Amino acid sequence: MFEVTRAEYNSLRSQFVTLENGKGEHSKYLPFAFTEQGVAMLSTILKSKKALQVNITIMRAFVMIRQYYSDSTELKQRIENLENEMQVKFKDIYEALNFLLNPPNPERKAIGFKNSHE
């Protein structure tokens, strides 16, 4: 269990609108939160059916969050790989277009007869 920071508390408060304006507008104390391991340890102490159901629900939430971040990490990596691949392809396309629009013009010797009167 740990105490959330003021910034975390303000973020949560704005997301969940936990307190009404006016009386009780500002919390005196910062709330505490449990880690996944803390919830597991708490379940060994609390033995009621309700506590067990809540514990199972919370553990499932942790599993879902972990899966979400795992999926988003994999997706982020795939997007980065695609971006890198596209950068290489666009660089090749840019170089090809630049070559076609501005072909190199090497110095060439004139072909034909020379005028001997010059």
DSSP string spanning 62-116?
HHHHHHHHHHHHHHHHHHHHHHHHHHHHHHHHHHHHHHHHS---------SPPPT
28 shares its domain with 56: no
Q: What is the pLDDT of residue 106?
A: 76
Q: What is the pLDDT of residue 90?
A: 84
The answer to whether residue 109 is domain-embedded is: no
Q: Is 68 left (phi over 0), alpha (psi -120 to 50) or beta?
A: alpha
Tell me which residue range forms the domain holding 94: 48-102
* Total domains in the fold of the chain: 2
The answer to whether residue 95 is domain-embedded is: yes
59 shares its domain with 89: yes
25 shares its domain with 52: no
Q: Residue-wise pLDDT tens for the chain (118 aa)? A: 888 888 888 777 655 555 555 555 666 788 888 888 888 787 778 778 888 888 888 888 888 888 888 888 888 888 888 888 888 888 888 888 888 888 877 777 777 777 766 5
The answer to whether residue 20 is domain-embedded is: yes
Q: What is the pLDDT of residue 22?
A: 56
The answer to whether residue 57 is domain-embedded is: yes
52 shares its domain with 6: no
